[in-house]
């Protein structure tokens, strides 16, 4: 239980609803900011404007999965209120206050570091990333079905990267009967690809391996699908880039060449917000519980 802990949830999308439900079950004191248009009847929680929150009493701040933009603005789908996460706001919190978000950026890193607060990026955790790879793979299947005119079964698909997302995506498409090849750089990844009965290739040879593919799925957050790579693809190839913005694809050249290229970060929150929210909520509950326990022990 999180009785006695005060958590401010600021902004977000449908995933945050699962976080609210979970923390309510654990008897957390919740202050909801940016949820004034929310119809759900969450008894026992308080909807507030950001300037109304007493941050001197807040033990944890939960930001949206994407944190803030580069101007510090916090996005929410449940309010038209403009909310900005600032150093001034964070300095009001106790020194033990922890900031949680899915990912970060230079602005958010600067604010948290300047004030000296702990910042946890949930999507950097292996457990969250692996759980999230499941709805990501399902969403990718949906996009391939929507944007191609052939079956996945028998299609030639190249997956770039064998990280936490790439492995699940490659395995999913192979299970649907696609002919999957996977590009990686590390020798252990190439060995694992072969062990999975998929076709491995080194990313240095990417241009040679896209000449006969129907779909290219990139999971690498660096420029990998360059103009020279796209130039070698068949005209009907579909590119789906799952890497975080701005992705790893030369979208300008793809458009010029007439190849459909889609940037699709954050698929879990789009195709399965309830499941994605439960993943975040369960991990947050564990982290907050551990934090509360540690603070109680330190007071003894």
> If you count them, how many residues does the chain have?
300
Give the three-class secondary structure for 98: strand
pLDDT at 41: 67
Would you say 140 and 169 are in contact if contact means Cβ atoms under 8 Å apart? yes
Report yes or no: 179 and 235 within 8 Å, Cβ to Cβ. no
How far apart (Å, rounded) are the C-alpha atoms in residues 173 and 175? 5
Cβ(272)–Cβ(138) below 8 Å: yes
What's the confidence (pLDDT) of residue 160?
A: 98
Centre a 10 Å sphere on the Cβ of residue 155 and count the other Cβ atoms it contains: 19
- Give the pTM: 0.86
List the chain pLDDT tens, one digit each, 300 residues: 899 899 999 999 999 999 999 999 999 999 999 998 887 667 778 899 999 999 999 999 999 998 999 999 999 999 998 999 999 999 999 999 999 999 999 999 999 999 999 999 999 999 999 999 999 999 999 999 999 999 999 999 999 999 999 999 999 999 999 999 999 999 999 999 999 999 999 999 999 999 999 999 999 999 999 999 999 999 999 999 999 888 999 999 999 999 999 999 889 989 999 999 999 999 999 999 999 998 888 776
Q: pLDDT tens across 82-107, in order?
A: 999 999 999 999 999 999 999 999 99
Segment 213-267, tens digit of pLDDT: 999 999 999 999 999 999 999 999 999 999 988 899 999 999 999 999 999 988 9
Q: How far is CA 178 from the centre of its chain?
A: 26
């Amino acid at each position: 239980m999180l009785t006695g802990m005060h958590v401010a949830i600021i902004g977000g999308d449908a995933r945050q609803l699962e976080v609210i439900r979970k923390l309510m079950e654990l008897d957390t004191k919740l202050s909801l900011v940016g949820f004034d248009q929310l119809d759900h009847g969450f008894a026992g929680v308080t909807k507030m404007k950001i300037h109304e929150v007493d941050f001197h009493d807040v033990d944890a701040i939960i930001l949206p999965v994407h944190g803030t933009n580069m101007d510090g603005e916090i996005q929410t789908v449940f309010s038209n209120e403009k909310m900005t996460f600032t150093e001034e706001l964070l300095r009001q919190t106790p020194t033990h206050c922890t900031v949680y978000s899915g990912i970060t950026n230079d602005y958010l890193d600067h604010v948290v570091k300047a004030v000296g607060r702990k910042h946890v990026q949930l999507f950097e955790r292996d457990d969250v990333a692996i759980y999230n790879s499941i709805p990501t793979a399902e969403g990718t299947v949906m996009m391939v079905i929507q944007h191609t005119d052939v079956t996945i079964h028998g299609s030639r698909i190249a997956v770039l990267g064998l990280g936490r997302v790439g492995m699940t995506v490659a395995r999913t498409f192979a299970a649907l009967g696609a002919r999957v090849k996977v590009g990686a750089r590390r020798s252990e990844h190439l060995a694992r690809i072969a062990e999975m009965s998929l076709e491995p290739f080194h990313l240095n040879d990417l241009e040679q391996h896209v000449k006969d593919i129907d779909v290219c799925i990139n999971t690498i957050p660096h420029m990998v699908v360059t103009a020279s790579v796209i130039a070698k693809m068949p005209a009907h190839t579909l590119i789906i880039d799952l890497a975080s913005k701005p992705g790893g694809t030369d979208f300008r050249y793809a458009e010029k060449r007439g190849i459909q290229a889609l940037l699709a970060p954050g698929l879990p929150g789009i195709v399965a917000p309830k499941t994605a929210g439960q993943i975040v909520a369960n991990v947050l509950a564990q982290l907050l519980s551990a934090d509360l326990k540690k603070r109680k022990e330190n007071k003894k």
